[in-house]
């Protein structure tokens, strides 16, 4: 064709990858539209779509769909280096919230860590850097009246259990703050937001975060004895510090083992969610 050779999808992907590595395109930035990229590289849109899929499979892009240009993904933490929940969760949530339709499913003991970590994607939304159309958050926490495995007092106090009362107050207050901050996006940004809690009939031994069906983050609760001031009392109890639990990441695109873990975790959550059926009022 008069000496002109069209670029292959791999060559297009390589050029875009180089721009990302050079910092010309930064995490959270949108790529040009498929039509614009096709014009720039002198190819059909099909070649552009193949290139974008290759970059997505390499973990460099998020939100690859027909509806809007994809975004540059935040760098994932090293696979062999699990991070404390309070460190690792916020950037993963920020990446998940860059999708048009956000779905976050959570199993936890209280919503404390999620309440804090959600501040990062909320900041990006308020800055206009990400603009999801819908956000659906489903959270499973222990029911108020069950006998918790933790926290528990070191010494029993009969029917009066201030350790349980403290946990319940924290569960409700943190959940209410999280719910309020997310639902406020309806009026401030016109985002279709749903936040739903349901009550587990048992104490979860792990915390689990499922992000858009693409990533599963799991952290194991480690029991410790500690004292905590609450009101006018000093509570001596066996408890966990969930914010210090190490998060292990499993990404669907990382391989068959990770994909299977994400898929099975999502199936387990969905089945448990449907079994409980009744939404929880935090009070």
48-63 per-position pLDDT tens digit: 888 888 787 667 887 6
Nearest to 61 by CA among 26, 15, 91, 23: 26
Q: How far apart are CA 102 and CA 112, in angstroms?
A: 20
Q: Which residue has the higher pLDDT, 156 or 258?
A: 258
Mean pLDDT, to the nearest integer, of 180-189?
Answer: 97
Pairing mode of beta strands 192-200, 134-142:
parallel
* Burial zone of 153 (CB within 10 Å; 0-12 exposed, 13-18 middle, 19+ buried): middle
Residue 87 is encoded by which pair of tokens? 């460190």
Cα 212 from Cα 121, distance rounded (Å):
14
Res. 3: pLDDT tops 50: no
The token duo for 85 is 């929940």
Q: 13: buried, middle or exposed (CB in 10 Å: 19+, 13-18, 0-12)? A: buried
Q: Using an 8 Å Cβ cutoff, are 250 and 215 in contact?
A: yes
pLDDT of res. 20: 84
> What average pLDDT does the segment 238-244 reach?
85
Residue 224 pLDDT exceeds 70: yes
pLDDT, position 25:
86
Cα Rg, the chain, nearest whole Å: 22
Query: Rounded distance, CA 79 to CA 249, Å?
Result: 7
Q: Return the beta strands (E) in 83-222 as ranges.
A: 83-84, 101-107, 134-142, 152-153, 192-200, 206-211, 215-220
- Summarize the confidence of residues 116-121 as an average pLDDT: 93
Weakest-pLDDT range from 27-31, 39-43, 201-205, 258-262: 27-31
The whole-angstrom separation of Cα 251 and Cα 75 is 13
């Amino acid at each position: 064709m008069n000496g002109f050779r069209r670029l292959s999808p791999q060559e297009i992907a390589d050029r875009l990858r180089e721009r990302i590595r050079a910092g010309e395109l930064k995490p959270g930035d949108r790529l040009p539209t498929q039509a614009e990229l096709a014009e720039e590289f002198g190819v059909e849109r099909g070649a552009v779509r193949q290139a974008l899929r290759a970059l997505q499979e390499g973990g460099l892009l998020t939100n690859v769909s027909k509806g809007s240009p994809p975004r540059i993904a935040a760098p994932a933490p090293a696979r062999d280096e699990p991070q404390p929940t309070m460190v690792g969760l916020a950037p993963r949530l920020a990446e998940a919230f860059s999708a048009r339709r956000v779905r976050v499913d959570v199993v936890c003991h209280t919503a404390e860590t999620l309440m804090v970590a959600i501040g990062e994607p909320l900041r990006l939304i308020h800055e206009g850097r990400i603009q999801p159309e819908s956000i659906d958050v489903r959270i499973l926490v222990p029911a108020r009246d069950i006998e918790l495995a933790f926290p528990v007092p070191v010494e029993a106090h009969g029917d009066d259990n201030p350790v349980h009362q403290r946990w319940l107050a924290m569960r409700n207050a943190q959940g209410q703050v999280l719910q309020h901050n997310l639902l406020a996006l309806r009026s401030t940004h016109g985002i279709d937001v749903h936040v739903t809690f349901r009550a587990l009939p048992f104490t979860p031994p792990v915390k689990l975060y499922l992000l858009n069906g693409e990533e599963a983050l799991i952290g194991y609760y480690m029991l410790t004895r500690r004292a905590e001031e609450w009101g006018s009392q000093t509570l001596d109890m066996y408890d966990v510090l969930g914010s210090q639990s190490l998060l292990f990441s499993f990404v669907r695109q990382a391989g068959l083992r990770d994909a299977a873990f994400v898929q099975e975790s999502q199936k387990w959550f969905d089945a448990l969610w449907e079994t409980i059926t009744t939404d929880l009022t935090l009070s």
